Amino acid sequence: MHNPKEEHLPPGDRRSVIVGVALLAACTLVGAIAGDALGTVLGVKANVGGVGIAMILLIAGRIWLLRRGLLSGGIRLGVELWGALYIPIVVAMAAQQNVAAAVRGGPLVIIVAIVTTALCFACVGLIGRAASFRPSTGELPATGEVAE
Amino acid sequence: MIEQLGSIALRVLSANGLLTAFACVGCVMLAANALSRHLTAGRIHGSAIAIIIGLAGAFFAGTVTGGEKGVADLPILAGIGLLGGAMLRDFAITATAFEVDVAHARQAGLLGFLALLIGTVLPFIVGASAAWVAGYTDPVAISTIGAGAITYIVGPVTGAALGASSDVIAISIATGVLKAVLVMVVTPMVARFIGLNNPRSAMIFGGLMGTVSGVTGGLAATDRRLVPYGALTATFHTGLGCLLAPSVLHLSLLAIMTM
């Protein structure tokens, strides 16, 4: 069955999907190396902010490609596919944790979550009130889908 | 014959572990989204329900097998270990940075940054203090539980970076997930009282709460037009947490504990 409305990537874009995946892989790897190096320098024997550094590299890479008009649909697809798989991967991560052992720490989980959430809500009210003396940022735009 | 077919299926599913994991997690996501729509009228985000199903599966698998790796200890689901392992996890989290628009982010300005900073440090302090009161003395465990109070991503990323044990990582994930669920459920109830009705307060809210599923779920149930603003700052939150929790926050904790 072929849906006539279905849109396929043009061949040029299809070839660049791997470039997007490679860019993402390179950023993740460089971030991991930088994080490990930073950990060694700081003497913590651990990866320090590797994922954060990788994210900054990817944002910089995206801006660089955009400014040169090189950010093709294929490159976007190569990166965004993995961004869209982030929740399923987190589900898989949750499914392989030692939850049976964590249940022993039960009350801790509930207390930390409730206290943290309550305090953060209070802060939203406080900061929001302090900010309301200034004019708001303006009109609300049309609804957009946001996926985690 | 049926017995033979069963053993063939088992062998194929085990031999193609990653594919089995994709199919399996896909089914969980479908079921979770259906539950979210029909049982909670979309109030609790499908992703939060899926994660709870994952944690529940890990709990039952852990009690059955006595292992430490949840469902990944079942031979047929060993691929879950690869799909949810450090390599693909860091890969996917990095990819989400692609959605951040720097020009839009600048609009959040100083307040957004302040909210992000408070939203990272405050949960860490609450989580770390509670862990210490609960009797944890290992700085790595205390930092991991503190990081879990930031989001359910920052917890395991910090735990993996510092080398925390799996049960501590599970506690930090459970804390983050419960926080996300609380944010989703409570936001529509308290939105009026905390002035959550304009883009600026939505950005402050996103930066402070951090958990993207909690923020987008909660805002969608309050006013769908606020969702992109909350998500904008919230997407910075996990990155900032991943950067600060295993480094500055953990080192500060070490300094305080050795005083």
For B20-36, what is each residue's pLDDT tens digit?
999 999 999 999 999 98
CB A58 within 8 A of CB A79: yes
Cβ-defined contact of B162 to A44 (cutoff 8 Å):
yes
Q: Can you list the pairs that B3-10 forms with residues at least 24 positions away whose Cβ atoms lie under 8 Å?
A: B10/B76
Cβ-defined contact of B208 to A88 (cutoff 8 Å):
no
Q: What's chain A's average pLDDT?
A: 77
Q: What's residue A33's pLDDT?
A: 92
Q: Return d(Cα A33, Cα A54) in angstroms, integer.
A: 10
Q: For residue B130, give the nearest of B145, B148, B147, B152 by alpha carbon.
A: B145
Q: What's residue A19's pLDDT?
A: 93
Q: Which positions in chain A touch B98 (Cβ < 8 Å)? A: 24, 58-59, 62, 76, 79-80, 83
**Average pLDDT of the residues in A144-148:** 39
Confidence of residue A145 (pLDDT cuts 50, 70, 90): very low
Asked, for residue A21, whether it belongs to a domain, the answer is: yes
Q: What's residue A107's pLDDT?
A: 83
**Average pLDDT of the residues in A41-60:** 75
Q: Return d(Cα A35, Cα B239) in angstroms, integer.
A: 13
- Determine phi and psi for B44, rounding to 5 degrees: -100, 120
Asked, for residue A20, whether it belongs to a domain, the answer is: yes
- Number of helices (H) and strands (E) in chain A: give both, helices first: 7, 0
| Distance (Å) of CA A8 to CA A3, A4, A11, A69, A85 | 11, 11, 9, 21, 21
Pairs across A and B, CB distance < 8 A: 335
pLDDT at A144 over 60: no
Helix axes B46-65, B212-222, angle to 10 degrees: 140
Q: What's residue A108's pLDDT?
A: 84
Cβ-defined contact of A96 to B92 (cutoff 8 Å):
no
Asked, for residue A77, whether it belongs to a domain, the answer is: yes
Asked, for residue A55, whether it belongs to a domain, the answer is: yes
Q: What is the pLDDT along chain B (259 residues), one digit of tens a residue?
A: 788 888 998 899 999 999 999 999 999 999 999 998 898 887 677 777 887 788 889 888 988 888 778 888 888 899 999 998 888 988 887 887 787 666 655 666 677 788 888 889 999 999 898 888 888 888 889 999 999 989 888 888 888 888 888 888 888 888 887 887 778 778 878 888 888 887 778 888 888 888 777 787 777 777 767 776 777 777 677 778 888 888 888 888 888 888 7
Q: Distance from CA of residue B40 to its chain's centroid? A: 20
**Average pLDDT of the residues in A97-115:** 76
3-state helix, strand, coil in chain B (%, to 5): 85, 0, 15
Q: What's residue B80's pLDDT?
A: 92
Which residue of A112, A115, A121 to mutate against B (max B Cβ within 10 Å)? A112
Asked, for residue A138, whether it belongs to a domain, the answer is: no
Length of chain A: 148
pLDDT at A47 over 70: no
Q: What's residue B49's pLDDT?
A: 80
Q: What's residue B224's pLDDT?
A: 67
pLDDT at A83 over 90: no
Q: What's residue B30's pLDDT?
A: 94
Our CA dihedral for B198, B200, B204, B207, rounded to 10 degrees, sits at: 110
Asked, for residue A134, whether it belongs to a domain, the answer is: no
Q: Which positions in chain A touch B198 (Cβ < 8 Å)? A: 136-137, 140
Residue that wins the pLDDT comparison between B79 and A129:
B79
Q: What's residue B108's pLDDT?
A: 60
Residue A56 gets the label, from left (phi > 0), alpha (psi -120 to 50) or beta, of alpha
Closest residue, chain A, to B125 (C-alpha): A116
Residue that wins the pLDDT comparison between A63 and B68:
A63
Q: What's residue A147's pLDDT?
A: 38
What is the DSSP-derived secondary structure letter of residue A105?
G
Range of the domain at A21: 4-104
**Average pLDDT of the residues in A54-81:** 89
Asked, for residue A126, whether it belongs to a domain, the answer is: no
Closest residue, chain A, to B177 (C-alpha): A113
- One DSSP character per residue, B53-117 reads HHHHHHHHHHHHH--SSGGGGSGGGTHHHHHTSHHHHHHHHHHGGGG--HHHHHHHHHHHHHHHH
Q: What's residue A30's pLDDT?
A: 95
Cβ neighbour number for residue A101 with a 10 Å cutoff = 17
pLDDT at A137 over 60: no
Q: Return d(Cα B105, Cα B82) in angstroms, integer.
A: 34
| Residue at B27: amino acid letter | C
Residue that wins the pLDDT comparison between B18 and A44:
B18
Asked, for residue A56, whether it belongs to a domain, the answer is: yes
Q: What's residue A103's pLDDT?
A: 67
Q: What's residue B84's pLDDT?
A: 86
Residue B130 gets the label, from left (phi > 0), alpha (psi -120 to 50) or beta, of alpha
